[in-house]
Amino acid sequence: MTSPEAIVTFEGSDGFRVVERFGEVRGEAVCPRNILRSTFRTIGVLIGLAPLDHLTDAERVRGDCLTRLLADASRLGANGVVGLHFEAVEQSDGGTRVRAFGEAVLLDPDPSAPR
């Protein structure tokens, strides 16, 4: 079983054709609220420092979410995910839940595609 190599937000991938559809796959990750980190971010903004760690947290959670989605697709035997979507929801405790979903597919090179 190989790990998915093509991940697109479109319903297909240029140069490939979908030969089998396995259904929806999902991934989810949570970034808990960290009051201490939030306080330092606020101080950083007030004194003119860019809150770079915020972007790092967001990237980490998005990456964790995508890793889980790809593992789900790989278990099904897919080598691609089409129609990828992300959803971020703020939870009541101040944390952020990120979900990714798409359709796991088996892609094959399209012999009729221009090279």
Residue-wise pLDDT for 64-88, tens only, equals 999 999 999 999 999 999 999 999 8
Q: How does pLDDT run across 94-114, given as a tens digit for each residue?
A: 778 899 999 999 999 888 877
Single pTM value for the model:
0.71
Whether 99 is in a domain gets the answer yes
CA atoms within 13 A on the CB side of 34: 9
Is 79 within a domain? yes
Looking at the chain, the whole-number percentage of residues with pLDDT higher than 90 is 38
Q: Considering the domain boundaries, does residue 53 fall inside one?
A: yes
Q: Assign residue 48 a region: left if phi > 0, alpha if psi is -120 to 50, beta otherwise? A: left
pLDDT at 10: 75
pLDDT of residue 78: 94
Give a yes or no: residue 37 inside a domain.
yes
Query: Which residue segment(s) compose the domain that 52 sits in?
Result: 6-109
CA-based torsion, 2, 81, 24, 12: positive or negative: negative
1 found inside a domain: no
